[in-house]
Structure 1
């Protein structure tokens, strides 16, 4: 599978619902953690001027993730625009490598003072393209 590993974690019992599999709210949390790792990998640190804001999530739940499962999330840049990027995060079982879920996320580079999208700086563009 293409992509860069951005998260490796373990599904705890408290991640699970009464049916014994990971509740949907925790998928987004894990995909969000993976996104922050991706941003750290390109050298971004949020300051008082700029950050990143997710504007769309599309999640596909492909197979149950029971408690006790070790999962790996890989992240792949799908599209890089002037002010936004689209990243596909894939969650797989660490032991079997079977795909369990995918999240496609559209994120904008965000001017925190103007409160609107801003052009992605070239330094980040270059690092994103290299992943």
Structure 2
């Protein structure tokens, strides 16, 4: 399922390292921003998380870097839900250079839905599960 971008932005000169390309801390930051947009699409909005006492916690994150991103490059991330379990989800972010369309990096994350008060994993609400199932896609080849 083709989806709208979960992140769009620019690489700023101050995000580049001594080699001249975007430093890895900024890849992680941009993927993190995409996380929250993906979660909101699933119904895990900030207001829902606050009012329900729920939260999301990343428990595994793997990043593969393919192409450099340089100052001034326009970045786009598209996200794909790969797996839905009772208390966790696994998803992939594809970060591209929006001008060239080339994949700069991709990231696969497993996140756990949690009860913030108990500090334990918790099942997703049925409405969240129903929405998430509509976004579930087949795994993307690396």
TM-score, with structure 1 as normaliser: 0.94
Partner of 2:14: 14
Of 76, 94, 119, 1:115 maps to 119
Q: What RMSD, in angstroms, separates the aligned Cα atoms of the two structures?
A: 1.5
Unpaired runs of 5+ residues, structure 2, are 136-142
Which segments of 5 or more consecutive residues in structure 1 lack a partner in the other structure?
none
Partner of 1:95: 99
1:4–1:76 contact (8 Å) kept in structure 2:
no
Q: Matches of 2:121 and 2:100 in 1, distance apart?
A: 40
Q: Distance in 2 between matches of 1:35 and 1:73?
A: 10
Report the structure, 1 or 2, having the larger strand content: 1
> What do residues 47-106 of structure 1 show as CA deviations (whole Å, max 9, x unaligned)?
161011111100001111111100100000011111100010000010111000000000
Aligned to 2:90, what secondary structure does the other structure show?
A: strand
Are residue 60 (structure 1) and residue 58 (structure 2) matched? no
SS in 2 for 1:47: helix
How many residues of Structure 1 are paired with residues of Structure 2 in the alignment? 131
Match of 1:76 among 75, 80, 84: 80
For 2:110, the equivalent position in structure 1 comes to 106
Indicate whether 1:124 and 2:128 are aligned.
yes
Report the counterpart of residue 42 of structure 1 in structure 2: 42
